[in-house]
Amino acid sequence: MSRSRRAPGASQDGSAAVEFLLVSVLVLALFLGVVQVALAVHVRSLATDAAAEGARVAARADRGPADGAVRTRALLTEALTGAYARDVTAGRTVLDGVAVAQVTVRAPLPVVGLLGPAGALTVRGHALEEQ
């Protein structure tokens, strides 16, 4: 009976490289997921702030909804890019029985790499109308 004997550690050749590759792929995917969520939250925060500021401008007694939309677009273009400022609407509405100016922003979600969430986010800013 002859058994082939391998040298100690010979069966382990290349396993460290394979383990490193498998772990690094998982860590990279996790990292890209965290970056994707961080970018989406960042864009949402900036869009919400721009919509609120635009609503405050639109609610002033000497201004109108068009002024609020212009201000919102300017803030989004300055903070992000013009692609995020394409779909901005402003108007007057009643919220809980109170007249308010409302600015709505629909912006695309930022995508990291080739894969990511498709779609858009919608945020609204409201401000009490001045008399």
pLDDT digits (tens, 9 = 90+) for 32-80: 889 888 988 999 999 999 999 999 999 999 999 999 999 999 999 999 9
Q: What is the C-alpha separation between 50 and 74, in angstroms, rounded?
A: 9
How many helices (H) does the chain have, and how many strands (E)?
A: 2, 3
- Cβ neighbours around 73 below 10 Å, total: 21
What is the pTM for the complete model shown? 0.79
Instruction: Give dist(CA 89, CA 11) in Å, integer.
Output: 66
Place of tokens 């629909």: 106
Residue 31: pLDDT band by 50, 70, 90 thresholds? very high
pLDDT at 116 over 80: no
Judged against a pLDDT cut of 90, whether residue 112 lies above it is answered with no
Confidence of residue 114 (pLDDT cuts 50, 70, 90): low
Three-state DSSP class for residue 126: strand
Q: 75 with 107: CB under 8 angstroms?
A: no
Domain limits, the chain: 16-128
